[in-house]
Each structure stands twice: as structure tokens, then as C-alpha cells.
Copies of this chain bind each other. A is one copy, B any other.
Amino acid sequence: MNETKQKILDVALDLFSQNGFSAVSIRDICKVVDIKESSVYYHFKNKQAILDELLQHFESIATGLMNQLEQALTITQKTIEENLFEQTCDCFFEKYLMDEYCNKIMRLLSIERLSNYEMQEIYNYWIFDKPLNFQTKVFSLLISIGIIKTADSKYLAVKFYAPIYLFAQQWLFCGTLTDEHKQFFRGNAYEHINNFFKEMEGI
């Protein structure tokens, strides 16, 4: 891809995720990229097209990661116990919830989902429905194998995911996204995950 075009996308995501789509002007982006406003329109049809391309890229990343996770559910039962935990943490947590690009998109979606119906749907799908559905599947599987005694897998998914979501919200919106904050978020989340499975074994 063209170097300037990529630069525009990078800067746009940076600014959009900090101030929101409508609060950032083409001129704001151009100041950082160091080009004139009209040059943007050589690479993009209009301002909306920049946003569309950013979202499309995010969705392709998220789709890839989620497909990888879904596959982890289909391997043989023996490998499940070893693989599932690692895969979930790596794919969903590190490469998604804590990934820099995804983080910026999530911040952007959080702002814009109120006034933009399309972005609201993307947010709900990738932040609520998809993770909760996946976790529900995971718990259904663990129940069917017998690792967990009979329970409401959907409610289990909520109990598992909700604290992670809460920690993520605190992490994503604590001003500057420092490594220190990131470590704090990671610590909280992993502690919860460990606690959760410990309690689960008891039941």
C-alpha cells in the first residue's frame, strides 16, 4: 500500500480514537502527516472512507482471530484441556483485548456507537455477542465432557467475561495507555481467570 495512504490511516486512527470521528478534522490529520488537505482526497473518496477502511481492517483481524479460536474447540477432547486455556488467553486476550490496534478501534467504537448505528452494531457484535457466544460454547463443551458439573453455560459465560470486560474498560479509558496500566489490567484479568477456574473445579 502507498506510504502516504498508510500514514493517513495510522494518524487518523490515532486521532479518531482519542477524540472521536467528528471531532477530528481532515486538517488535523494533515498537520500530523504533513500534507495538504486536498492530498487526502487523492487517496480517499471522502472523510468517511478513511473510517470505513479502518473498520474493515479491524473486522478482518477480529474475524481471523475468532476463527482460530473456534477451531480450537473442534480438536479432540484430549488436547482440549491443554490447548483451550492457552489459546483463549493468547488469541482473545493478548492479540485482541490488549492489542494496540484493536484497543484504538475499541475506543473509537465506544464513542461513535451512540450516534452511528453501524458502529453500534460492530461494537455489540465484537465486544458483547461474539465473545459471550464463544465462552458459552466453551462452557457447554466443558460441561459435556464432564469437567464442569451441569450448569447454565450462558450465565457462566457472563460471570467469566463480565469482570474481564470491566477491567478492560478501566484499562482502555484511564487516560494515557501506559505499560504500567496495561500490566495492571493483565494482572487483574489473569487473577480473575485463575480464580474462576479454581472455583469451578470445586463445584
Contacts and interface: CB of A to CB of B under 8 A. Distances in A.
Contacts of A5: none
A103 interface: no
Given A120-B175, A128-B170, A195 B155 contact: yes
Interface string A186-202: 00000010010000000
A87 interface: no
Contacts of A192: 155, 158
Interface stretch (A54-62, A74-82, A91-99, A105-113): A105-113
A99 to B, nearest CB: 18
Given A162-B162, A195-B155, A175 B22 contact: no
Given A23-B22, A114-B19, A114-B111, A163 B159 contact: yes
B18 A114 contact: yes
Interface in A87-138: 107, 110-111, 113-115, 117, 120, 123-124, 128
Interface residues of A, number: 32
A23 B159 contact: no
A35 interface: no
Given A120-B173, A120-B175, A111 B162 contact: no
7 contacts: A20-B20, A20-B22, A23-B115, A123-B173, A128-B170, A161-B166, A165-B169
List the 10 closest pairs (A to B, CB-CB), nearest first: A162-B162, A162-B163, A162-B166, A19-B115, A22-B23, A111-B111, A158-B163, A165-B166, A111-B114, A113-B173
Given A110-B110, A114-B173, A128-B169, 13 more contacts: A17-B114, A18-B114, A20-B22, A20-B23, A22-B23, A107-B114, A113-B173, A120-B173, A123-B173, A158-B166, A158-B192, A159-B163, A162-B163
